[in-house]
Amino acid sequence: MNIQSILIIGGGLAGFTVAQNLRSRGYAGRLDIIDPAGIPYDRPPLSKGYLLGDKDAAGIELAPAAWFTEYRVGLVRATVRALELEPLGVELEDGQRLHADRLVLATGGSARPLPIRGGDLGSVLVLRNKEDADRLRTKIVPGTRLVIVGAGLIGAEVASSALALGAEVTLVDPVDPPLVPAVGPELARRLHAMHGDAGITVIHGTPVGIARTQGGHRLEMADGQVVDCDEVLVGIGIIPNTELAQAAGLETDNGVLVDTNQRTSHPGVFAVGDMARTRNADGTLLRRGEHWEHAMNTGATAAAALLEQELPVHGASWFWSDRHGTHVEGVGDMNAEGTTILRMNDGEPVAAFRIAADGRMLGAAAIDGGLTIRAARRIIDKGIIVQPVSLADPGVPLKKLAR
Ligand SMILES: Cc1cc2nc3c(=O)[nH]c(=O)nc-3n(C[C@H](O)[C@H](O)[C@H](O)COP(=O)(O)OP(=O)(O)OC[C@H]3O[C@@H](n4cnc5c(N)ncnc54)[C@H](O)[C@@H]3O)c2cc1C
């Protein structure tokens, strides 16, 4: 079928990437992105530069307004209320209906609510979008007593930024240390210790309730401890926004299920980014990706598939995070079955490599080691076998081993 119109629902990084790739691949038909936020913007700075005030709203836009005019990508500033499969289209919140030859779902995820008493209080902060960040910026001033529940990637980043803004930060997590699946236990321990070293109060425990106090909040812990504070921020992950797809009868399972073309259970509907989950041809479900590069990769794949062009090849999955002036990167799967080889420097682990029984590298993570991770990715993607002794040696640049 000659596709003449495509509607993208959700203008985050994944939706924007679909539009960008459709145009760069030669698609000349009608193309619109529907999102209440208007011009698509990048989310990683929300917990870093934007929160710190180093970047403004224009500085995080994925493209300037002129780009959308030049490439004839319409921005429909609205929220989709329902999907329609026969004929393909959407219903907006104001009742307006839009139709297209193909739909792309790119609705991302919502902050996972803390399932405890008071977890649903309207005053409990989360960080998923620019409005959340703006709210946070007004709340975090020097001296604000901020409790953050969840010390994973976003919780740790906000903790670091809030500290830099002069807040008194308490970081609470039942897992000690968090992030082991992403970076392995050794690097996770070192990263978590940075919070205490920087002056953050770290509590290892389980919250059971949040209550309002006069002008503030009180966090109640399972062991009876209470933490009085001004503000509470919850950062315990996301729930994929699958409601539209579910209501329309598309297959979902902790994400909208897609094949390796990003095609959902309806042949005319594709899904990308944080809300999409791949089901392989043999029925196995992959872990849903929730990272920046994953949003770009799935967007690029969907664009190629929509135009029936050859699919791009992507390397092992990659993410980064920043905290306390430190840059963390991970590639592949640090949680895969295997053994870990550590690279140490001055008695501290600086990189960890997950190695399968047959010697292949499965995953790698590094602190302030971007070049190491770039080389590790090549080693993983090419299946290069590297001697463990060389991996462990900080004097051997990984780039040399990736040839
Ligand atoms: C604070 C923060 C920091 C991050 N830092 C990092 C990092 O350092 N490294 C990293 O690798 N990743 C990071 N990420 C993750 C990365 O930003 C996400 O994986 C990526 O943004 C996902 O893109 P997406 O387009 O799938 O979803 P989103 O960016 O969430 O976009 C979804 C869009 O869909 C829209 N939408 C939802 N429902 C509807 C509807 N019914 N109608 C119309 N529009 C709708 C929303 O308004 C939103 O704009 C971070 C995320 C956040 C929130």
Q: 5-110+238-306 adopts what CATH topology?
A: FAD/NAD(P)-binding domain (3.50.50)
pLDDT in the model for residue 403: 84
Q: How far does the centroid of ligand 1 lie from the alpha carbon of residue 351, in Å?
A: 28
CA of 127, closest atom in ligand 1: 1
Q: How far does the centroid of ligand 1 lie from the alpha carbon of residue 303, in Å?
A: 18
Q: How far does the centroid of ligand 1 lie from the alpha carbon of residue 50, in Å?
A: 15
Average pLDDT over the chain, rounded to whole? 97
Domain(s) labelled CATH 3.30.390.30 in the chain stretch across: 325-401
CA torsion sign for 42, 46, 48, 52 is positive
The three-point CA angle 273-275-278 to 5° equals: 80
Angstrom distance (rounded) from CA 314 to CA 364? 17
Omega before residue 87 within 30° of 0, cis: yes
pLDDT in the model for residue 273: 98
Confirm if 110 and 238 have CB atoms less than 8 A apart. yes
Angstrom distance (rounded) from CA 362 to CA 138? 43
Burial class (CB in 10 A: 0-12, 13-18, 19+), 114: buried
This prediction has a pTM of 0.96
Read off φ and ψ for residue 300, nearest 5 degrees: -65, -40
Please report which confidence band the pLDDT of residue 215 belongs to, taking 50, 70 and 90 as the band edges: confident
pLDDT in the model for residue 220: 97
pLDDT in the model for residue 223: 97
Q: How far does the centroid of ligand 1 lie from the alpha carbon of residue 273, in Å?
A: 8
Domain(s) labelled CATH 3.50.50.60 in the chain stretch across: 5-110+238-306, 130-234
CA of 272, closest atom in ligand 1: 26
Q: pLDDT tens digits, residue range 70-111?
A: 999 999 999 999 999 999 999 999 999 999 999 999 999 999
pLDDT in the model for residue 356: 97
Q: How far does the centroid of ligand 1 lie from the alpha carbon of residue 60, in Å?
A: 13
Amino acid at 9: I
Domain 130-234 has CATH 3.50.50.60: yes
pLDDT for 112 beyond 80: yes
pLDDT in the model for residue 108: 98
Read off φ and ψ for residue 237, nearest 5 degrees: 105, -175
Query: How confident is the model over 34-62, as a mean pLDDT?
Result: 97
Please report which confidence band the pLDDT of residue 2 belongs to, taking 50, 70 and 90 as the band edges: confident
Q: pLDDT tens digits, residue range 23-43?
A: 999 999 999 999 999 999 999
CA of 16, closest atom in ligand 1: 25
The residue nearest atom 37 of ligand 1, judged by CA position, is 107
Angstrom distance (rounded) from CA 114 to CA 120? 7
Q: How far does the centroid of ligand 1 lie from the alpha carbon of residue 120, in Å?
A: 21
The per-residue b/e assignment along 54-72, b for 16 or more CB within 10 angstroms, e otherwise, is: eeeeeebbbbeeebbeeee
Q: pLDDT tens digits, residue range 299-319?
A: 999 999 999 999 999 999 999
Query: How confident is the model over 1-5, as a mean pLDDT?
Result: 89
Testing ligand 1's pocket by substitution, the residue of 52, 107, 294 carrying the most ligand atoms inside 8 A of its CB is 107
Q: Which residues line ligand 1 (CB under 6 A)?
A: 9-15, 34-37, 43-44, 46-47, 79-80, 106-109, 127-128, 154, 241, 244, 273-274, 290-292, 295, 319-321
Residues 6 or more apart from 71 whose CB is under 8 A from it? 19, 20, 23
Q: How far does the centroid of ligand 1 lie from the alpha carbon of residue 375, in Å?
A: 28
Query: How confident is the model over 9-15, as a mean pLDDT?
Result: 98
The residue nearest atom 19 of ligand 1, judged by CA position, is 291
**222 strand-pairing partners:** none
* CATH (one of 3.90.1170.10, 2.30.130.10, 3.30.390.30, 2.40.340.10) for 325-401: 3.30.390.30
pLDDT in the model for residue 65: 97
